[in-house]
Amino acid sequence: MASKLLRSVLAVTTAVVGGVALLAGPAAATVGTGAITLPGATGTEGVAAAGGTGFYAGDLLTGDVYLGDIRTGTAAKVVHAPAGRWAVGMKADLADHLLFVAGGPTGDGYVYDTRSGSPVAAYHFASAPTFVNDVALVPGGAWFTDSSRATLYFVPVIDGVPGALSTLALSGPAADTSGAFNNNGIQATADGRWLLVAHTGQGAVNVVDPTTGTSRALPGVSVPNVDGILLSGRTLWAVRNFDNEVVQFQLAGDLSGGTQTAVLTSPLFEVPTTVARLGDRLVVANAKFDTGLPPTAPSYEAVVIRR
């Protein structure tokens, strides 16, 4: 979620000051792209892989969710969310047929059935000031970030059923809430032993121990205006929203640091926020927060680029 968006959204919670910085490293490479329109969407922010050539993308201000296909280049609404919900970051647990969605300033998290689009569970994590921003899957459940609090929220999944939530207090750099907008995108290593949490205020990614909440900075990964992140093996992609870039890093096996290896951009980017991987493609939510909030763009889409 972009910091400039939060400035408008959270008049009821907190104001945000967004920063812009230059990216050091390889020059940005413009890559082959295409856009898949989300018909009727009033905004978008979150995107998640749905298996095969499919992806999910949320309608930010309504909480509805679309299922798109990069093969056909089409998308259709599959979740008609109850009134009052938001759809920020999201992840799909394909084995259990569950879609986890962060609820932004509502302080909530939602779970939907991927087969029917029906609500499965809803959680109230926190009251204002709060901004439940993104989701990461681990074996046995899902972690949610809160950009206004030094906490993570965990929803366990037992035999395919979401269980009672728990809260993890953070310490170290991930506990920094001195900025107006803090913990944002989140990913987990395959074994769930470590969480990588993007921190917008710091322009950094921190490594978090999900057992203790302790954290440390990930050296070599500098990402001003960082929003969503994606981890595949030891390759990390980080979206720099108002810079219209997706930055790629190669991480050390022990997560002792990272090296920037590429910068991807597209003429179709207009404040991208989150990213999902489908084979050799990346799907990026095109939020268009530069038009304000509510956004005033005539359409919203997911941009597909080669990685």
pLDDT of residue 111: 98
Count of helices and strands (H, E) across the chain: 1, 26
Say whether pLDDT at 180 is over 90: no
Report the pLDDT averaged over residues 264-287: 96
Say whether pLDDT at 15 is over 50: no
Q: Are 98 and 131 spatial neighbours (Cβ–Cβ below 8 Å)?
A: no
In this structure, what token pair is assigned to residue 177?
A: 């809430």
H helices of 85-181, in order, are none
CATH H superfamily, domain 3-18+28-306:
TolB, C-terminal domain (2.120.10.30)
Share of the chain above pLDDT 70, in %: 90
Average pLDDT value over all residues in the chain: 91
pLDDT digit string (tens) for 16-36?
222 222 233 456 766 557 999
E strands, 44-201, are 47-51, 54-58, 65-69, 74-79, 90-93, 98-102, 108-113, 119-124, 132-138, 141-146, 151-158, 161-162, 166-169, 183-188, 195-199
pLDDT digit string (tens) for 220-246?
999 999 999 999 999 999 999 999 999
Record the pTM: 0.92
pLDDT digit string (tens) for 76-114?
999 999 999 999 999 999 999 999 999 999 999 999 999
pLDDT digit string (tens) for 244-261?
999 999 999 999 999 999
Q: Are 229 and 145 spatial neighbours (Cβ–Cβ below 8 Å)?
A: no
Q: Are 126 and 100 spatial neighbours (Cβ–Cβ below 8 Å)?
A: no
pLDDT of residue 14: 30
Tell me which of 198 and 8 has the higher pLDDT: 198
DSSP character string of 93-121: ETTTTEEEEE-BTT-EEEEEETTT--EEE
Report the pLDDT averaged over residues 3-7: 47
Report the pLDDT averaged over residues 56-60: 98
Place of tokens 């999902």: 276
Listed in sequence order, the residues at least 6 apart from 206 whose beta carbon sits closer than 8 Å to its beta carbon are 172, 173, 174, 196, 197, 199, 215, 216, 217, 218
